[in-house]
Amino acid sequence: MFEKKLLQIAHPRPTDYEGLVLLEGMEEDGVILSGRAVSPASGEAYPVKDGYLDLLGRRSGADNVANLTNFLPGAGKGYEPLWRVRSLDILTGERFPNEREVEIVSGLAGVEGGGVFLDLGCSAGLYTRSVARILRGRGSIVGIDISPSMLKEAARRAKRLGASPSFARADAENLPFADEGFDGALCGGSLNEVGDPGRVLRETRRVLKPGGRLAVMGILRAKTKNGLRLQKLTSAGGVRFFEEDEIRSLLSHAGFETDGFRAFGSVFFAGGVRR
Ligand SMILES: C[S@@+](CC[C@H](N)C(=O)[O-])C[C@H]1O[C@@H](n2cnc3c(N)ncnc32)[C@H](O)[C@@H]1O
């Protein structure tokens, strides 16, 4: 599913300054359910199938082993029930339901003000569908991920909830969107997994309007011996863990003013405003 009006900010190549247009397909209430969008500039076609617009084609976008595990066929289906529903309880050491974190990131990203939002590395779409429900008629959200398995599940879960966000297969390090196309962005855990977090933040800044807000949830470097041992193991797969100063520095170097930083156990929530 992809909102037809958002095709104008889909710029998979720098020459796609007019965006994409729908070539053929099925739509319902302004949402493309299946079909093909095409670039008038390059003539290249991009399919909408399995619930998302595929702007990556044959490229995997994966940088490390951790990314590749998200391509396994059952990864999307298992992600939320097996991990995500309890992940912050485990990582913070306190009761931390998904609704609580959604409230925090939505506040940091300024979702209440409406507009067009981007969810970077959306996995099975927890933030994307939750924000779509908050927005209802006051804006739009696009969830992007490189994993087909995650995106297919994200679209299924959103549909089940009666929400119609847009989903696209896209690389957060090379965002296929117009400069200043979004009012806000959210990033839940993905900065820990991408190959180049600085690049993702710079790309996010590019696609945000001046004053646009970014909300990041992520995992800090452990403070205990056991925690550090565990993090060392996952680091081998490409996952990284941050110090608070590192997050502030990454945001600042990418052109964001840090606006809010809270830590709960090893989980942080950081807000940024695009300078
Ligand atoms: C920790 S999970 C994200 C969880 C999700 N945001 C949530 O709140 O449930 C990281 C996700 O980032 C995706 N990912 C990794 N590298 C990416 C990239 N370069 N561009 C887009 N998505 C990426 C992975 O496929 C994975 O689904």
44 close to 15: Cβ distance less than 8 angstroms = no
Ligand 1 centroid distance, CA of 210 (Å) = 25
Could you tell me the distance, in angstroms and rounded to a whole number, from the CA of residue 25 to the centre of ligand 1? 28
Measuring CA to CA, how many Å separate 221 from each of 74, 125, 247, 254? 29, 25, 11, 21
Closest CA to 117 of 160, 181, 71: 181
Name the DSSP letter for residue 177: B
Measured CA to CA, the distance from residue 82 to residue 69 in angstroms comes to 15
Residue owning the nearest CA to atom 14 of ligand 1: 121
Contact between 39 and 51 under an 8 Å Cβ cutoff? The reply is: no
Question: b/e for 7-35, b at 16 or more Cβ within 10 A?
Answer: bebbbbeeebeebbeeeebebeeebbbeb
**Per-domain residue ranges of the chain:** 59-274
Query: What is each CA distance from 149 to 73, 242, 243, in whole angstroms?
Result: 6, 27, 31
- For a ligand 1 pocket test, name from 193, 202, 234, 268 the mutation site with the most ligand atoms within 8 angstroms of its C-beta: 193
Show the tokens assigned to 95: 């009761």
State which of 83, 85, 127, 146 you would mutate to test the pocket of ligand 1, scoring each by most atoms of that ligand within 8 A of its C-beta: 146
CATH of region 59-274: 3.40.50.150
The ligand 1 atom at the shortest distance from the C-alpha of residue 75 is: 27
Are 197 and 250 spatial neighbours (Cβ–Cβ below 8 Å)?
Answer: yes
How remote is the CA of residue 162 from the centroid of ligand 1, in Å? 23
Task: Choose the residue to mutate in 102, 145, 216, 266 for probing ligand 1, maximizing ligand atoms within 8 Å of C-beta.
Answer: 145
Q: Using CA atoms in the order 141, 145, 147, 149, what is the torsion angle rounded to 10 degrees?
A: -20
Residue 50's nearest CA partner among 70, 35, 67, 66 is 35
Q: Which residue has the tokens 């617009």?
A: 53
**From ligand 1's centre to the CA of 184, what distance in Å?**
17
pLDDT tens by residue, the chain, 275 residues: 999 999 999 999 999 999 999 999 999 999 999 999 999 999 999 999 999 999 998 887 777 776 777 787 788 999 999 999 999 999 999 999 999 999 999 999 999 999 999 999 999 999 999 999 999 989 999 999 999 999 999 999 999 999 999 999 999 999 999 999 999 999 999 999 999 999 999 999 999 999 999 999 999 999 888 888 888 888 777 789 999 999 999 999 999 999 999 999 999 999 999 99
Cα(122) to ligand 1 centroid in Å equals 6
d(CA 255, CA 272): 9
pTM of the model: 0.95
Atom of ligand 1 nearest to the CA of 190: 10
Give, using CA atoms, the residue closest to atom 16 of ligand 1: 194
Residue pair 139/6 in contact (Cβ under 8 Å)? The answer is: no
